[in-house]
């Protein structure tokens, strides 16, 4: 199994939840899948800096995170009065506010991560360089791909590794009911049956029954279809001018960190 459930004795109730992720882990698609459930209304990145949130780590107001705690608590209360859950990207809040969010009770957390950190970094840097973040943002694939800065890729990989480890440790230390899900466990499954099983387990974890409506199942299947949605592939990565050097310097066969396979 590629997912882990903590506190398995807890009965599944409809507690508020957070989908916690780092960039390029498939969280936008997973958010779409969760939102297709008739019992889930999801707030999409309420602390994104482009949304004007005063609590966003980038472009935040001048007060310190500690001074902002009472106001932040009220904002979280309002969010969970309106929504069943929120999607949050790790870097969008300061560590103090992020932990404040995740320590609220009752709360369930889906920690979405990626095992192949090299592909995660390459995907993110390509998005920065091409300004294409999601399917439909622009012509894909672009006719020409840029060389990628290897030192920047290495720094991104280190950030993903360390931040995911820190938050996983924090969730366990604070006894937050959570499940860890890898990108590969959901999006690299070859069959729709296997992908649907992962989603069924997530819905049950969130206190909702699995989807049985045929129209909604069709929408889920289309959302997870890699053909129109996946922005990256081995063939695409091999069009990066310096992909061989990236692979040689940053690839790790023992961990499956590769862009060529």
Average pLDDT over residues 155-182: 94
In a domain, 32, yes or no: yes
Query: Nearest-CA neighbor of 41 among 23, 14, 63?
Result: 14
In a domain, 106, yes or no: yes
* CA atoms of 166 and 187, how far apart (whole Å): 24
Residue 58 has pLDDT above 90, yes or no: no
In a domain, 149, yes or no: no
Tell me, letter by letter, the H, E, C secondary structure of 164-228: HHHHHHHHHHCCCEEEEEEHHHHHCCCCHHHHHHHHHHHHHHCCCCCCCCHHHHHHHHHHCCHHH
Average pLDDT over residues 238-242: 93
Residue 10 has pLDDT above 60, yes or no: no
- 197-226 tens-digit pLDDT: 999 999 999 999 999 999 999 999 998 887
pLDDT computed for residue 62 by the predictor: 47
- 116-164 tens-digit pLDDT: 999 999 999 998 998 888 767 777 777 889 999 999 999 999 999 999 9
In total, how many domains does the chain have?
1
In a domain, 142, yes or no: no
Residue 9 has pLDDT above 60, yes or no: no
Expressed as residue numbers, the domain containing 18 is: 3-115+165-230
Q: What is the mean pLDDT of the chain?
A: 87
* CA atoms of 3 and 197, how far apart (whole Å): 12
* CA atoms of 228 and 218, how far apart (whole Å): 15
In a domain, 240, yes or no: no
In a domain, 217, yes or no: yes
pLDDT computed for residue 5 by the predictor: 45
CATH number of the domain bearing residue 212:
3.40.50
pLDDT computed for residue 141 by the predictor: 72
* CA atoms of 133 and 127, how far apart (whole Å): 5
Q: To 10 degrees, the CA torsion angle through 18, 39, 190, 247? A: -20
In a domain, 127, yes or no: no
Q: pTM of the full predicted structure?
A: 0.88
Residue 2 has pLDDT above 50, yes or no: no
pLDDT computed for residue 63 by the predictor: 54
In a domain, 122, yes or no: no
- 63-84 tens-digit pLDDT: 577 778 889 999 999 999 999 9
Query: Nearest-CA neighbor of 23 among 160, 187, 161, 131?
Result: 160
- 89-102 tens-digit pLDDT: 998 998 889 999 99
């Amino acid at each position: 199994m590629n997912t882990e459930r903590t506190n398995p004795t807890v009965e599944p109730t409809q507690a508020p939840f957070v989908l916690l992720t780092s960039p390029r882990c498939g969280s936008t698609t997973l958010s779409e899948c969760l939102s297709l459930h008739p019992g889930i209304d999801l707030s999409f990145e309420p602390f994104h800096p482009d949304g004007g949130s005063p609590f966003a780590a980038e472009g935040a107001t001048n007060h310190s995170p500690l001074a902002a705690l009472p106001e932040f608590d009220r904002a979280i209360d309002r969010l969970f009065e309106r929504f069943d859950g929120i999607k949050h990207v790790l870097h969008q809040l300061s560590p103090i506010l992020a932990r404040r969010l995740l320590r609220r009770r009752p709360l369930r957390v889906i920690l979405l991560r990626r095992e192949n950190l090299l592909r995660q970094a390459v995907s993110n840097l390509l998005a920065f360089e091409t300004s294409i973040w999601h399917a439909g943002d622009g012509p894909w694939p672009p006719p020409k791909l840029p060389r990628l800065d290897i030192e920047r890729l290495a720094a991104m990989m280190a950030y993903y590794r360390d931040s995911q480890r820190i938050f996983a440790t924090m969730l366990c230390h604070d006894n937050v009911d959570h499940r860890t899900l890898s990108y590969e466990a959901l999006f690299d499954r070859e069959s729709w049956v296997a992908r649907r099983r992962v989603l069924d387990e997530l819905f049950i974890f969130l206190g909702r029954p699995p989807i049985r409506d045929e129209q909604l199942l069709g929408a889920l299947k289309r959302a997870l279809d890699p053909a129109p949605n996946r922005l990256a592939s081995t063939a695409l990565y091999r069009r990066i001018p310096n992909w061989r050097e990236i692979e040689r310097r940053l690839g790790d066969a023992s961990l499956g960190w590769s862009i060529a396979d």
